[in-house]
A = this chain, B = another copy of it.
Amino acid sequence: MDSGKGMLIVYSGPSGVGKGTIRKKVFERFGDKLFYSISMTTRAPREGEIDGVDYYFVTREYFEEQIEAGNFLEYAEFVGNYYGTPKDKVEKKLNNGYDVMLEIEVDGATQVKQKVEDAISIFVVPPSMEALENRLQGRKTEEQEIIQKRLEKARREIVLAGLYDYVVINDDLEEATEDVVSIIKSGHLKTPYSIPAYCKELIKQIKK
Q: Which A residues fall within an 8 A CB radius of B?
A: 123, 125, 127-129, 155, 158-159, 161-162, 164-169, 178-179, 181-183, 185-187, 189-192, 194-196, 198-199, 202-203, 206
Cβ–Cβ < 8 Å partners of A191 in chain B: 123, 161-162, 164-167
Q: Give the distance in Å from the alpha carbon of A165 to the alpha carbon of B186 in the complex.
A: 10
Chain B residues with CB under 8 Å of A190's CB are 165-166
Q: A155-B202, A182-B181, A202-B158 are in contact. Are A168 and B196 (CB under 8 A)?
A: no
Q: Which residue of B lies closest to A181 (CB)?
A: B182
Q: Are B185 and A127 in contact (CB under 8 A)?
A: no
Identify 6 residue pairs between A and B in the complex whose beta-carbon atoms are under 8 Å apart, listed by A's number: A155-B202, A159-B206, A167-B191, A169-B194, A169-B196, A181-B182
Residues of the B chain whose Cβ atoms lie less than 8 Å from the Cβ of A178? 185
Among all A-B residue pairs, the 8 with the closest Cβ atoms: A182-B185, A186-B186, A182-B182, A167-B194, A166-B189, A182-B186, A183-B186, A159-B203
* Contact (A183, B192) CB under 8 Å given A159-B202, A198-B128: no
- Given A181-B182, A182-B181 in contact, is the A162-B192 Cβ separation under 8 Å? yes
